[in-house]
Amino acid sequence: MTKELNANEIKALISLLDDEDREVIMHVESQIVSMGTLVIPFLEHEWESNFNATVQKRIEDLIRALQLNHLYQKLKEWKENEQENLLKGVFLIATYQYPDLEYKKIKKQVDQIYYDAWLSHRTYASPFEQIRNINNVFFEKYNFVANTQNFHSPGNSMVNIVLESKKGNPISLCIIYMLIAQKLKMPVYGVNLPNLFVLTYKSPETQFYINIFYKGAVFSKADIDSYIQQLNIKSETLYYEPCSNIDILQRILRNLIMSFEKLGEKEKVNEIQKLLDILID
C-alpha cells in the first residue's frame, strides 16, 4: 500500500471520528491504533487541518495511545534483550513525557561528560583519587546539583531534563555519574537504600560508598549501619550491595508514581504503573 493510499485511508477513518455512534468510533479508533506509530504523522497532519474540537481531541487521544503502546513494547524489549544498557532504559522512561526525544542526543551528552572525565582520569590512581576526579568534573565543571527545591518534580526522573538543567534527585544524578564511571572501567554500581539511592565502589580489594546527592561524599559500611538504625528498620543485604538495572528502573518509576500522585494526575499514575508492571512481571 502506498503512502498516498495510506493517507486517504486514514483521512476516511478520521472522518468517522465525528460519528454519533460510539461503537463506530471505537471500531475506527481500534483500526487506527492497530496501524502502529507510523500512522502518527498522518494523524498530526489531520489534526492541523481539522477544526472540529471533538475530532481534534480524539486524534490527540489516539496519538497518545499509539505512543504509549510503542513505549510499552520498547520497555518489554529492553527488559528481554537490553538490560545491560542502563542509558537506553532511562531514555525510554523519559520518552513517556517526551515521545520525540532522540537516544543519540542523550548519548552524546553523556559521552561528552565521559570525555571530560577521561582527560584527567588516571588508571594508576587510587579509587578515592579516581572518584575525586569524577567529582571535580561532575560537580565543578558541569555543576550538577541536588534539586532540593523541587524534589518531587517528575522532571527529576527524566534523564534529558536532568542533563539539561544539571539538577536531579538522588537516583537520576547517580545514574549519570555511574554511567561515566563505568565507561572509565571503574567498578561503580547503584545501591538501593531506603529513601536514598547511593553508589558503591566495589572491587575485590575494597568497597566504599558515594553519596551523589551530597557532591560525591564518600562514606563507609558503618555509616549505612548507622543510617539503618536511625530508620529503625531491619538490615538487609540489598542495602549494601549493587542492585540491577531492573531495580533502578523500577525505583525511577515508583518515584514518578509518587510525583504524579502529588500532582493529582491519576491517569498518568495508572500509565506509569503499567510500565512498572512490565518490569515486575
- Phi, psi values for residue 218, rounded to 5°: -90, 140
Cα–Cα distance for residue pair 191/58, rounded to 1 Å: 43
pLDDT at 5: 39
Please give the CATH topology (third level) of the domain spanning 86-280: C8orf32 fold (3.10.620)
Residue the block writes with cell 504509549: 68
Query: What is the total residue count of the chain?
Result: 281
pLDDT at 88: 98
**Residue 215: its H or E element:** none
Task: Report residue 253 as a C-alpha cell.
Answer: 518509576
Helix (H, G, I), strand (E, B) or coil at 81: helix
pLDDT at 207: 97
pLDDT in tens, 167-212: 999 999 999 999 999 999 999 999 999 999 999 999 999 999 999 9
Cα–Cα distance for residue pair 241/267, rounded to 1 Å: 35
Parts of the chain with a pLDDT under 70: 1-7, 15-21, 24, 50-51
Task: Report residue 140 as a C-alpha cell.
Answer: 565543578
pTM of the predicted protein model: 0.88
CB atoms within 10 A of CB 1: 7
Cα–Cα distance for residue pair 191/197, rounded to 1 Å: 6
pLDDT at 43: 80
